[in-house]
A and B are shown apart, each in its own frame.
Chain A
Amino acid sequence: MPPAISSAEAPVPVRGDLALAQRRALERLAAPGTWWSGAERVAIAAEARQARRCGPCRERRQALSPAWGGADHESLGRLPPAAVEAIHRVAADPGRLSRAWFEKTRAAGLAEGPYVELVGVVATLVSLDAFCRGLGVAPHPLPEPLPGEPSRYRPGQARDEGAFVPMIPARGAQGAEADLWPPGRTANVLRALSLVPDEVRGLKELSAAHYLPMEQVIDVRAHRLLSRAQMELVAARVSALNECHY
């Protein structure tokens, strides 16, 4: 079982549900996914961590244009170049990703399904690492990959909804996807990864512990020990610093 932050390691007590949700996120990371094997998913996570140390990524962030044509990424070398480019850009400079960049990445050989799953893995790893860094503890060791083949499952309802990638329509979460959200009651950020439904399930579970359960997000009276305004102040500042319009 992958390790989790425990009260013994952290300088402050970590809620049991939070530690459990993080441990389950690491377990999901290690398991075969929809388009990537367990070994490839762990390699994606390792590459996302490497992006923090990538010199060209640092220089690109400072450059006027994200299309800056500097040196190649400082990669761990375990994944195809198109995947490495996507991982580093999503991890290190997400606010300047564009449709043109996405189309170029797709043309370089990274298909929509694998891309969506990759985004889910990178975003999870960045989130887990940010939490650890916030607390001042070492990041979780990456888990040992589990054997098995990717399912290659693509939900039949997914279609072009105006984003870079196909998504399940708001009223389309039915059948095998009925657990993703109640019919018509969702938000684009929840649908964003729905081309790979298991990534939505992972997102919901970890977000419920880090922030709020999805069904409570719209209720402005819902909160934790922090008031909702305090939670939203942190959320908004993090989003602004990442230059996220959404």
Chain B
Amino acid sequence: MLLRASSQAAGAGARLGAIAEGGAAESGVPCGGPLLRFAEALVRGGDEELAGARRELLAAVGPERFVEAAAVAANFERMVRIADATGIPLDPPIAALGADVGAELDLARFGSAANTPRPGRVARALAPLLRRLGPRLLKWAAGARGAQPGAASRD
């Protein structure tokens, strides 16, 4: 859902199917192919495949962004383990806003989908409206929380 919302906020349209299809797919995100192939090699690939993906990504985005990609991948290797090992359900607003994303990517096939109750009738009925308002709602929520737009602070 954050991929779709951030892509829309930037005036572009990411193709969500690339998340399920992987590195050979067109994602609509700049340098998406090298980013996807690096993520795949890091999670599932052998040393040789990873070395190739690393070289490709470095050439595509340069050293600083390459380090950021490795850090983001490492972060989500952590978050998935925390989420799945503790059995947390999806937060209700995320479940409502991302229901169509879940359906498009067939996320219900994952075992951990059992941790989230199926959305009720009201939530399903409101889903199309919430999807249209999604980016605006996130923007509002970010403003209400005092988040600052732009680059995160870095050394």
Contacts and interface: CB of A to CB of B under 8 A. Distances in A.
A216 B147 contact: yes
A134 B3 contact: no
Contact of B71 (A18, A66, A245): A18
Contact of B145 (A94, A165, A218): A218
A79 interface: no
A136 to B, nearest CB: 6
Interface in A94-150: 94-99, 102, 116, 119-120, 122-124, 126-128, 130-131, 133-136
Interface string B30-54: 1110011011101110000011001
A119 B142 contact: no
A58 to B, nearest CB: 12
Given A209-B71, A231-B72, A94 B84 contact: yes
Given A122-B81, A192-B88, A241 B152 contact: no
A243 to B, nearest CB: 4
A213 B148 CA distance: 11
A41 interface: no
B60 to A, nearest CB: 11
Contacts of A233: 3, 14, 18-19, 27, 29, 32, 35-36, 39
Given A164-B86, A244-B80, A226 B68 contact: yes
Is chain A's interface secondary structure helix, strand, loop, or mixed overall? helix
Interface stretch (A9-17, A30-38, A68-76): A9-17
Interface of A: 10, 12-18, 66, 86, 90-91, 94-99, 102, 116, 119-120, 122-124, 126-128, 130-131, 133-136, 162-165, 167, 182, 185, 187-189, 191-193, 203, 206-213, 215-246
Interface of B: 2-3, 5-7, 9-10, 12, 14, 18-20, 22, 27, 29-32, 35-36, 38-40, 42-44, 50-51, 54, 58, 61, 63-91, 94, 102, 105, 107-108, 110-116, 135, 138-139, 141-142, 145-155
- List the 5 closest A-B pairs by CB distance, nearest first: A134-B70, A164-B87, A219-B142, A127-B78, A16-B155
